[in-house]
Structure 1
Amino acid sequence: MEKSRAGFWIRLGANILDGLLLGVPIAILAVIFGLSVGDRDTINTVISVPYYLLLPVLWYGYTVGKRFCNIRIARKDGEKIGFGTMALRYIVGFIIVYGLTLGIAMIVSAFMVGLREDKRAIHDFIAGTYVTYAKPGD
């Protein structure tokens, strides 16, 4: 069930790819249309929240960056990723916990993924998930 945990560097690479996939087109549009920083932030939110919440639910735990890196989000109990799981992982884990701690919890999470045998970060514990190289159904 819990095979081939993905570690820090591959997860970082997948996150960078996702950030580029979302950020570059938004930056280009911002320049073309002369958008303010506030408008860019709004567009980024409108695009990134559904991307990180819905795409893994619809695509077996993958985002484009994770798929490119051959890793995916999986539930610890083996069940299919659902909207509730992703809401816990992304909204509670990333936005609330990492936001409230001004990024300190994100640094702790990076060390957790790098040093813990199970490679789980704070948001993984909150949502009951882990990131794996295993394909869906393995």
Structure 2
Amino acid sequence: MHLFNHIKFRTPESVELEFTLAGIGSRAWALIIDYHVLAVTLAVFFIIWLVVSIQLIDFWTRIFGARSVFWLMAIAFITWFVIYVGYFVFFETIWQGQTPGKRFAKIRVVRDDGRPIGLQQATLRGLLRPFDEVMFIGALLIMFTRREKRLGDLAAGTIVIQTQTFTASASLKISEQAKTLYEYLLQITDLSPLLPDDFAIIREYLQRRGAMSAKARTTLAQQLAQQVKAIIDLDKLPENVSPDVFLEAIYLAYQHREY
């Protein structure tokens, strides 16, 4: 395992992005949190299942006969496995590669090319998780492979990276209007659909706009602003907000968002 192992991607817009792999420590911390959430969920399931089984014991006996206890245990185990796997699949799919534990530990699962994972990748990772935990196979693979992948990552074509904490560039000037607007955006919008590569494109534009012609700058700013509005599902902004000011405000809001 390499400390602070980095990996680079290049987006279709020719923007090069560099990420830090999460590593065994961050992933273990996220897993501990997720297992606590899972433990509460499974405990609730066990209590409900026990109450229902006792109430319907006569019904189970008529259906399964003397083997009713065996079948009850089999159904309970299958349901337990579905909850266990489904927890990771559900959250990694709807939260773009994050579970509650990963969100708290500030790490995320992405595809090998940096794109967000989907249901297929999340399902493969979830189904292979039990195998990764047998004799700590997953932990050993994470520590001793170059991209720090467990079996689920190898099968799904994914890696786990640290979510980025971006800092303002010295060459990037932010208007006073944007400094006010970003606080308003944090209140009315959800920036979670905005991915790190989206942010990197915005940052790249804000850093290079001074070298652009007025026409090219205006056109590109309008296109980027429209794309960002569509991503975060924002219909309307206050009047007299230019595309440049909006992008500056998004730049600030993304850095101050809550995970």
TM-score, normalised by the number of residues in structure 2: 0.44
Alignment of 1:114-129 (within 5 A): 114-129=143-158
Query: 2: CA distance between counterparts of 1:109 and 1:30?
Result: 28
Structure 1 stretches lacking a partner, 5+ long: none
2:161 is aligned to 132
Q: Alignment length, in residue pairs?
A: 131
2:223 is aligned to none
Query: 2: CA distance between counterparts of 1:73 and 1:61?
Result: 4
Larger radius of gyration: 2
In structure 2, the CA distance between the partners of 1:110 and 1:47, relative to structure 1 (3 Å rule), is same
Q: Which among 12, 20, 37 is matched to residue 21 of structure 1?
A: 37
* CA apart distance, 1:57: 1.2
Q: Of the two structures, which has the highest relative contact order with CA contacts closer than 8 Å and spacing of 6 or more? A: 1
1:70 is aligned to 106
Cα deviation, 1:77-132, whole Å, max 9, x if unaligned, reads 222211111122222x224xx18xx924xx23212212333211221111100111
2:21 is aligned to 5
Q: CA RMSD in A?
A: 2.7
* CA apart distance, 1:33: 6.8
Q: Which among 84, 87, 90 is matched to residue 126 of structure 2?
A: 90
In structure 2, the CA distance between the partners of 1:137 and 1:28, relative to structure 1 (3 Å rule), is same
CA contact (8 A) 1:26 1:44 kept: yes
